[in-house]
Amino acid sequence: MASYTKRGKTWRVQIQRGTLRQSATFPTKSEAQAWAVEQEAELRNTKHGAIPKKTLADLLDRYELEVSHTKRGHDWERKRISVIKGYKIASVRLSDLDATHVSTWRDERGRDVSSASVLRDWNLLSHACEVARREWKWLLVNPFKEVKRPKDSPPRQRVFTEGEIERICFALGIDVHGIAPLREFTISQRVALAFLFALETGMRAGEIVWIRREDIHASHVHLPMTKNGSARDVPLTTRAREIVNLVPDGFGIESRQLDALFRKAKKRAGCEDAHFHDSRRTALTKLAKILSPMELARVSGHRDLNLLLGTYYAPDIGELAGKMG
């Protein structure tokens, strides 16, 4: 049986047959009715056994194997999937999976981690279910689209001070006031160089560790693939060129090494509340003083200026007042 609800100028239609549910929104009620008739006919012809006797954990295993494995962030997704599989929702059969299970998991997860972490898990699960619905036909609906998303956390305001930068690099074996060129830097020293490079360029950790000799040019670094799926050229400051010249073949570290060693160094430096990614905000805040928003977006790779300005662009109010006269 279909139910119709008018929301402003649109009509939302919901249909249900047993545990199988679908919903959609249309500009007119007649279009909604036509869609409902078609979908109800399909549901009548779909036996319950059409959905495989799999659980959400089975879905995540296949997603990790076929989808996550193709991503540069595979290790990150693998760890996150492993954690998610520890919750009750993972044992729910796909034929029973609905909005109630999703909302219960959302609230449980929210008691264990920050809202930002819940949202990252949510995005991963929702995409996995969407792939299962569209490509594998393991689901008729994506239950994550029927539940209110977790709230976004306010953007971090953290930037590194000069003293913090010195202490962290010292803990990693580098003196920022005089970096001696060595034939071979230790892994810890390479992490320090990557950190200093991030503070100059605003590049993400994942982008820095993937730099190779062929990507390094006189005035810029070419990134053949970035987080948003496209290539980007990042201009280099004089200091950034000096740093990358010390490691002409690239930084020679893996993401897991950078993450582990930076965590230990920041703890020894008394900066436990800092994240490596705060270097991006630090760099873009500094560059915002000399670049226009459009130029800054070209450097950072942001396609959404609102995200750039709201998250990373943090000019000093006193300086802005001085410019205004």
Catalytic residue among 63, 87, 312, 313: 312
**Whose structure tokens read 């004089």?**
238
CA–CA separation, 104 and 97 (whole Å): 12
Residues 6+ apart with CB under 8 A from 297: 303, 305, 308
CA–CA separation, 6 and 171 (whole Å): 61
313 noted as active-site residue:
no
- C-alpha distances (whole Å) from 323 to each of 137, 195, 290, 293, 315 are 59, 31, 13, 16, 12
- C-alpha distances (whole Å) from 123 to each of 57, 80, 104, 208 are 16, 11, 16, 25
Q: Specify the pLDDT at position 20.
A: 57
- Provide the Cα torsion 110, 113, 117, 119; round to 10°: 0
Q: Specify the pLDDT at position 238.
A: 93
Q: Specify the pLDDT at position 237.
A: 92
Q: Specify the pLDDT at position 48.
A: 47
Catalytic residue among 80, 167, 190, 302: 302
CA–CA separation, 44 and 142 (whole Å): 19
Catalytic residue among 204, 232, 266, 280: 204
Q: Specify the pLDDT at position 143.
A: 93
Per-residue pLDDT of the chain (325 residues; tens, 9 = 90+): 678 888 888 888 887 766 556 677 788 888 888 877 766 665 555 444 467 788 999 999 989 888 887 776 677 888 899 999 999 999 999 989 999 999 999 999 988 888 888 998 999 999 999 999 988 888 989 999 988 888 776 777 789 999 999 999 999 999 998 887 878 899 999 999 999 999 999 999 989 998 999 999 999 999 887 766 678 899 999 999 999 999 999 999 998 899 999 999 999 999 989 999 999 989 988 888 888 778 888 887 777 777 677 666 666 677 767 777 6
CA–CA separation, 198 and 4 (whole Å): 53
The pTM score is 0.63
302 noted as active-site residue:
yes
Q: Specify the pLDDT at position 115.
A: 83
Q: Specify the pLDDT at position 43.
A: 56
Note the pLDDT tens digit of each residue in 87-124.
999 999 998 999 999 999 999 998 888 888 899 899 99
63 noted as active-site residue:
no
4 noted as active-site residue:
no
Q: Specify the pLDDT at position 49.
A: 45
Catalytic residue among 227, 263, 267, 268: 227
CB atoms within 10 A of CB 84: 19
CB neighbour burial string for 37-75, b if at least 16 within 10 angstroms, e if fewer: eebbeebeeeeeeebbebbbbbbbebbbeebbeeeeeee
